Structure 1
Amino acid sequence: MGQVNENAAAYFVDRHAKGAAAEKVAFTEAVDGGRSLTYAALGEQSGKMTALFEKYHIQPEDRVVMLVHDVVEFPVIFWGSLKAGVIPVPVNTLLAADLYALILDDSKAKSLFVSEVLLDVVKPVLKDRKYLKSVFVIGESQEGFLSFNDELATVQERPTTQASADECAFWLYSSGSTGQPKGVRHVHGSLQATSDTYGAQTLKINVDDVVFSVAKLFFAYGLGNGMTFPMSVGATTVLYPGRPTPETVFDVIRRSNPTVFCGVPTLYAALVSAMPDKMPNGMERLRCCISAGEALPAEIGRKWKSATGVDILDGVGSTEMLHIFLSNAPDDVVYGTSGRAVPGYQLRLVDETGAEVGAGEIGELLVNGPSAADGYWNQRDKTRSTFEGVWTRTGDKYEKQADGRLVYCGRTDDMFKVSGIWVSPFEIEQALVTHKDVLEAAVVAAMDENDLEKPKAYVVLKDAVSKEGLEERLKEHVKEAVGKWKYPRWIEIVDDLPKTATGKVQRFKLRSQ
């Protein structure tokens, strides 16, 4: 009896490419002239990557950076790298050139795969990268660079490399809600671990599903939504390479009739605000919506359910845990909470001494589960402080309710005390967005005239709102909603809030102002 190949590509790609789903569409691009890719074609094209890497002297365990939009080449390169034993490093397509230089140097990437429209962004920093040997462009061929599609056409398919479940498979760089991104190393077995837990038991993914994830594939959240979960059962993913606005998202939904929609709170708020009187076309088959990246304001969840008839399953995940480990579940949704542990994961809330807190108390969330990262690259101290045996520190503060549900309070470094009592920025933000004139809000600590910390709110208003007397109305609104001592002492109206590309508000930038 031969050795079982635990290479994740054998399970997610080869199993379907040679099975009943071979001629089924795995990925389809929801744009004019968009292309589709069947499981059989994905199997063949990803199988060519081993030969392509050999041609350009890229060895197993070498890193290759993927600066690639959500197009059909993305899964080909990602899974093809796993098949070859090469480590793909998908990165955020919205970063500045100096951060791409940092990531290319930090990862010691031998090769870069870049979408044609992103080449001009990264081109200025390519010549000084001492580890980088080759650059493949996806799209129209560019002088001085290799054409990915042309090069792939010159090589033949190879068998999938043997790998163990514990071997490093890919890296993701954390989105940097608190500063510089960190390289997070994940093993082959973690991908199936997330599909066996959240994908199968919370999302209940099935072969007939059509999934549209607004979160892009280069995020841990988007990678699970758009690749791991649908590919675990032979379902179909809708890819959209453009910027998600209410207009473009409604258009993709109309074109693709998804059964599963995956968003982030910022976008759900914008969609609810832009929702026409009747449910948008294309939502007729929608059976499940999920949210992560930041806690979902209860008001947004209720408005979405009222407009579409479908609940949003608000959940919590992280780059370090690869996907969602704490979530509301179908038929068990309580808006304003993050739900309970996903089957397969254990959670603890601890105080500053490491002691577990009781119901009604606030503590830092620790998680134990099968998809935890293997650690950070080149950041040993950070690895040791985050990964404590089987437990991973999330850096998030939660309150435990009597029924076991957890309520988000904020990042550990976002929390502050007013009159000696912990204040959750998120609680004040939730109160603010229930006001009819407020689209978004972020709250941080600011010093008053006595050098004591008090809440300060940054507020994004809906269109055509009068600002006259608004500040006092918002303060009174918060006092009535969450308590007189928690109201923001200062309110600043802004056009937008600083965010990571996952939609997380970067409160550290607001604090620095």
Structure 2
Amino acid sequence: MENQFAPPPSEFNFARYVMELNASRTNKLAYIDDAGEYTYGELFDRSRRFAGLMQSLGLHREERVMVCLTDTIDFPSAFLGCLYAGIVPVLVNTQLTTDDYAYMLANCRAQAVVVSASVLPTMTAALSRCNHEVKQVLVSQPEKALDEGILNLQISLDTSALGIAAITAADEMAFWQYSSGSTGKPKGTVHTHGNLYWSDALYGKNILRLNEDDVVFSAARLFFGYGLGNGIIFPLCAGACAVLMSERPTPQAVFKQLTQRRPTIFYGVPTLYVSMLNSPALPARSEVALRLCTSAGEALPREVGEKLSEHFCCDILDGIGSTEMLHIFLSNRNGDVQYGTTGKPVPGYEVELHDEAGCVCEAGKIGELYVKGPSSALMYWNNREKSQHTFIGEWLKSGDKFWRDDEGYFHYVGRSDDMLKVSGQYVSPFEVETTLMRHPAVLEAAVVGKQDDNGLVKTKAFVVLTDDYTPNEELVSELKNFVKSKLAPHKYPREIQFLPELPKTATGKIQRYKLRD
């Protein structure tokens, strides 16, 4: 499907673009974080000073800066400041290990690091292993004096001159994000200035349709593709206001933001939505100002979407995106939601399902999802083999399994690596999980394959119970029979293990590989 938006000019700098878009909004609120409020004028002044700071430290075009920040005003300031100067921010998760940071520092050859004070000890240990010179470490919001040679970011910004804008190309490397690394080492995914433009033009304007009166709040962090779009790309392109929160997005923390800041758009993930629904503190519709919610990260169970929509009287738009495509490319849309599906392709993206022979699947047949669109990343840095396996001509191989119904809605089946073959027939872990979650005892569920004594694969379910139920053998039998009554007999879990919680990534994705181990 052709998109309706003109491409960005060949000379294009995304930071300059959003500054020009909001030139008349100098005094309008752009961000609210835990410490204060910031206008568009203040945001762009901070961003240009960050650009000047990087240039004064001797950083050059296309050199990398590792950005390891929690969600405060310093994150968009650093991100936009780097882009403005033509320097490449490398956005990394703030919850990683020393080994992770050491690997990423070496892989991206960062010339500087901007890090939140809470992450500084781990990052310092990683820097001690670095095999190249990192010119400077800057710390966001330190609570105590810093060691010699490490700079306080705010003090440095206060004394920095405004930076010089770089004349960059739309197809020029703009920033990196690292994949989650669930299989092998994390992959440095390289995005362009134009990718940021297209993500807003296609999903932001077609699906979200933000305006300058909107207030948005994302439970997903800014260092993820989902969070970056939610909290920086889309609100800044619409002149809206974004709420940032540094603390962990527990239901209680989210409820506080929903009722006090009263965002009109909330971006969540399925595991959080489940916890919100099961919390006695879930705010009433009259206490919030929501007009729309989105969900991504994993497929949203039908019952969860329906209950949330009924409670908040607004649509919950489930969609799928990826680090490689920057944001969501397949989605439900406002006024056209089919709960239990991932919706239809976002205008401007093409989506196909391929069978094991590489042929395009007809409706009703399960296939691997391929997507084509202008926000696709350039490559994985220094990883030709993985790049060639994922970026196939104009198409991106997602690694997700879907089937498409006769009305064109896509139904998620699972990750290709997670699909199970039981009794010679494919089983979708997601289908079994969502069936288990229809039982009132089940808060969350994850299903994996386990070999029995004969070497045959059987399904095993890991279940988190609601507060009203206690683990016992009678409940195990009840849950097995419940699944048998809803699905084909070979799909029911042969074994069920109760856990207090499921292992998850920082985005809320269930780490099934840990359960398999």
Q: Show the counterpart of 1:97.
A: 98
Secondary structure of the corresponding residue to residue 274 of structure 1: coil
Deviation at residue 44 of structure 1 after TM alignment = 1.5
Give the count of matched residue pairs: 504
State the match for 1:444 in structure 2: 448
Which runs of structure 2 are paired with 1:320-335 in the superposition (5 Å)?
320-335=324-339
Q: Would you say the 8 A contact 2:302–2:339 is kept in 1?
A: yes
- In structure 1, the gaps of 5 or more residues are none
Q: TM-score by structure 2 length?
A: 0.95
Measure how far apart 1:51 and its partner are: 2.2
The structure 2 residue matched to 1:485, chosen from 461, 486, 490, is: 490
Whether 1:413 aligns to 2:382 is: no
Distance in 2 (alpha carbons) for counterparts of 1:494 and 1:278? 28
Q: Does 1:291 align with 2:295?
A: yes
**Counterpart for residue 138 of structure 1:** 140
- Report what 2:126 is aligned to: 125
Q: Check if 1:232 corresponds to 2:223.
A: no
Q: CA deviation at 1:360?
A: 1.1
Stretch of structure 1 that moved more, 385-394 or 148-157? 148-157
Whole-Å Cα distance in 1 between the matches of residues 260 and 383 of structure 2?
44
Q: Which moved more, 1:327-336 or 1:134-143?
A: 134-143
SS in 2 for 1:417: strand
In 1, Cα distance between equivalents of 2:184 and 2:306: 33
How far off is 1:14 after superposition?
3.8
Correspondent of 2:389 among 382, 385, 388: 385
One-letter identity of the residue aligned with 1:427: E
Q: Which position in structure 1 is the counterpart of 2:470?
A: 466
Amino acid at match of 1:191: L
Supply the AA of the counterpart residue of 1:186: H
Once the two structures are superposed, the pairs formed by residues 55-74 of structure 1 within 5 Å of their partners are 55-74=56-75
- TM alignment of 1:13-28, pairs within 5 A: 13-16=19-22, 19-28=23-32
Question: How far apart, in 2, do the equivalents of 1:275 and 1:13 lie?
Answer: 43
Deviation at 1:465, TM superposition (A): 1.2
1:319 and 2:323 matched: yes
Distance apart, 1:177 and its partner CA: 3.4
Q: Is the 8 A contact 1:5 1:162 kept in 2?
A: yes
TM-score, normalised on structure 1? 0.96
Give, in whole Å, the separation in 2 of the partners of 1:214 and 1:446.
33
**Is contact 1:250-1:280 (8 Å) kept?**
no
Counterpart-to-counterpart distance in 2, 1:74 and 1:282: 29
Question: Residue 319 of structure 1: CA displacement?
Answer: 0.2
**Equivalent residue, structure 2, for 1:302:** 306
Please say if residues 258 and 282 of structure 1, whose CA atoms lie closer than 8 Å, have aligned partners that are also in contact. no
Q: Which amino acid aligns with 1:353?
A: A
State the alpha-carbon separation in 1 of the partners of residues 91 and 280 from structure 2.
33
Alpha-carbon distance change, 179 to 107 in structure 1, aligned in 2, over 3 angstroms: same
Q: Which residue of 1 aligns with 2:49?
A: 48
CA–CA distance in structure 2, aligned partners of residues 281 and 181 of structure 1: 43
Aligned counterpart for 1:357 among listed residues 356, 361, 367? 361
Identity %: 45
* AA aligned opposite 1:497: L
SS in 1 for 2:160: coil
TM-superposition CA deviations, 1:117-152 (whole Å, max 9, x none)? 211222222223132221001113512211111111
Alignment match, 1:455: 459
Answer yes or no: is the 8 Å Cα contact 1:175–1:501 preserved in 2: no
| Cα distance in 2 for residues equivalent to 1:178 and 1:442 | 18
Question: How far is the alpha carbon of 1:181 from its aligned partner?
Answer: 1.4
Offset of 1:54 from its aligned partner? 2.3
Q: CA deviation at 1:502?
A: 1.1
Matches within 5 A, 1:135-214: 135-140=137-142, 141-144=145-148, 145-214=150-219
User: Residue 407 of structure 1: SS of its match in structure 2?
Assistant: strand
| Cα-to-partner distance string for 1:440-471 (whole Å, 9 max, x where unaligned) | 11101111232211111011111241223110
Change (3 A) 1:438 1:179: farther
Displacement of 1:49 after TM fit? 2.4
Q: Distance in 2 between matches of 1:367 and 1:4?
A: 24
Residue identity matched to 2:227: G
Matched residues in 1 for 2:228 and 2:158: separation?
26
- Change over 3 Å in CA distance of 1:44–1:4 after alignment to 2: farther
Gaps of 5+ in 2: 1-8
Contact 1:198 1:342 in 2 (8 A): yes
1:447 and 1:51 map into 2 onto residues whose CA distance is: 58
- Whether the aligned pair in 1 keeps the contact of 2:55 and 2:163 (CA below 8 Å) is no
Change (3 A) 1:205 1:123: same
Q: What is the match of residue 15 of structure 2? A: 9
Moved over 3 A (4+): 275-278
Residue 422 of structure 1, CA deviation: 1.1
- Indicate conservation of the 8 Å contact 2:276/2:282, yes or no: no
1:242 Cα offset (Å): 0.5
Question: Quick one: which amino acid aligns to residue 365 of structure 2?
Answer: E
The SS at the match of 2:500 is: coil
Displacement of 1:373 in angstroms is 0.2
Q: Is the 8 A contact 1:52 1:155 kept in 2?
A: yes
TM alignment of 1:258-269, pairs within 5 A? 258-269=263-274
CA RMSD of aligned residues (A): 1.4
User: How far, CA to CA, are the matches of 1:401 and 1:309 in structure 2?
Assistant: 27
How far has the Cα of 1:379 moved from its partner? Answer: 0.8
Q: Is the 8 A contact 1:458 1:492 kept in 2?
A: yes
Contact 1:172 1:319 (8 Å CA) reproduced: yes
* CA distance in structure 2 between the aligned counterparts of 1:323 and 1:119, rounded to whole angstroms: 29
**d(CA) in 1 for partners of 2:306 and 2:484?**
22
- Of 489, 502, 506, the match for 2:507: 502
1:463-494 Cα deviation digits (max 9, x unpaired): 24122311011111111122222100000111
Letter paired with 1:242: E
Q: Report if the CA contact (8 A) 2:12-2:194 is conserved.
A: yes
Tell me, yes or no, if the aligned pair for 1:409 and 1:426 is still in contact at 8 Å.
yes
- In the alignment, what sits opposite 2:84? 83
Give the Cα–Cα distance (whole angstroms) in 2 for the partners of residues 495 and 181 of structure 1. 28
SS at match of 2:417: coil
1:372 CA displacement: 0.2
Structure 1 residue 275: Cα displacement: 4.6
Match of 2:284 in 1: 279
CA contact (8 A) 2:268 2:294 kept: yes
1:282-337: CA deviation from partner (whole Å, max 9, x where unpaired): 41x21100000010111111111122112210000000000000001111111111
Deviation at 1:78, TM superposition (A): 0.4
Q: Distance in 2 between matches of 1:504 and 1:22?
A: 38
Q: Is the 8 A contact 2:192 2:378 kept in 1?
A: yes
